[in-house]
Amino acid sequence: MSSLYQVLTPAGELTAAIDGRLDESMMINMYEQMVRVRLFDRKSIHLQRQGRMGTYAPFEGQEASQVGSALALKPGDWLFPTYRDHAAAIVHGQSMARVFLYWMGHMEGSISPKGLNIMPPCVPIATQMVHAVGTAWASKLQNEQHVSLAYFGDGATSEGDFHEALNFAGVFQTPTIFFCQNNGYAISVPFSQQSASKTIAQRAAAYDIPGVRIDGNDIFAVWLTMQEAVERALNGQGPTLIEAVTFRYGAHTTADDPKKYRDQEKLAKEWRSERDPIQRLRTFLVRRGLWNDAKEAELIARANEQIDAALAEAESYPKSRPEDMFKHVYAEPTWMAVEQEGELAKPAKKEDIPA
């Protein structure tokens, strides 16, 4: 159970044949998507530092896990992201402008494009897992060919919702895919202090469902594993728990300082220099004659142009207002919401303003 399923090594070499399973156009698409979202991530951090965006949760280092898994979905499938899975949401069809809006504090940043079932980013830890089981069960009851994909981190596996979701999914054999990005840290707490179990994948045995542990920085392994999980789910064989072992290079959020609880220099060398998901795929593509510096430059220019256009769209959006918090909650406002919104609209009394 401790071994990792790996197809593409950090050196960019194959450990298993992929002929007939992955074509060249998909490989190039994988690479382009990973580069695009990494540039988006870096831009977002700069925007937060400039005061143009609120606290932001970066994901650099986890691109293979998010891109590879999202590429395995069909438009009607359900995607349940955490506050860190905007790369997966973008790959599945969410506009970058909407993602910017979310981090700028706009409720409209959570709206899913028409025809796609992308749920709003979930900040409470692990609660989205139970929701994903619910939509999957509904799909099963209605004989729909859709899966529900729930993202979560290693810290979420210490929550009761994790166990409730896996138990319910196992009992009712729902077409749910539980995708854990094991970053090794739940903010500042290393996995060794979160659980006595050596892996997350092994916990699947308690619910009699498949558990797979993969190299989360190997996009081929991620995509192929997801393909098998989707096929199993749609064939009525129930859920799958996937543990993707990866590493987020930066802070938990822009309000965090990871140097206080982990050796950033050592980990940067181990993960960024030796296991980077983008570099390993680029090495592979270059060796096959599918990529070169000219294509790289064109991709970066095109991606930056898309990101800048999305930012301009988001920043031209009307400023959010405090009363917007009452929108998108109930179809018909409750008397309490009406009362609270009325209280908010009242001018503040002088005695209520702190000196």
The pair of three-digit structure tokens given for residue 208, joined into one six-digit string:
């009699």
Q: CB under 8 Å to 89, separation ≥6 — which residues?
A: 70, 79, 81, 99, 118, 121
- From the candidates 92, 213, 232, 248, which is the catalytic residue? 248
Q: Give the closest residue to 122 by CA, choosing from 63, 166, 164, 78.
A: 78
**∠ CA 105-108-110 to the nearest 5 degrees?**
90
Phi and psi for 132 in degrees, rounded to 5? -65, -35
CA distances from residue 178 to 57, 238, 248 in whole angstroms, order as listed:
21, 11, 19
- From the candidates 83, 261, 272, 317, which is the catalytic residue? 261
Instruction: Tell me how long the chain is.
Output: 355
Is 328 considered catalytic here?
A: no
DSSP H or E segment with residue 182: strand 176-182
- From the candidates 36, 146, 232, 252, which is the catalytic residue? 252
> Do 136 and 148 meet the contact criterion of CB atoms below 8 Å apart?
yes
Q: E-assigned strands of 198-313? A: 211-215, 240-245
Give 6's DSSP letter: -
The pair of three-digit structure tokens given for residue 289, joined into one six-digit string:
């004659």
Is 252 considered catalytic here?
A: yes
Active site residues: 248, 252, 261
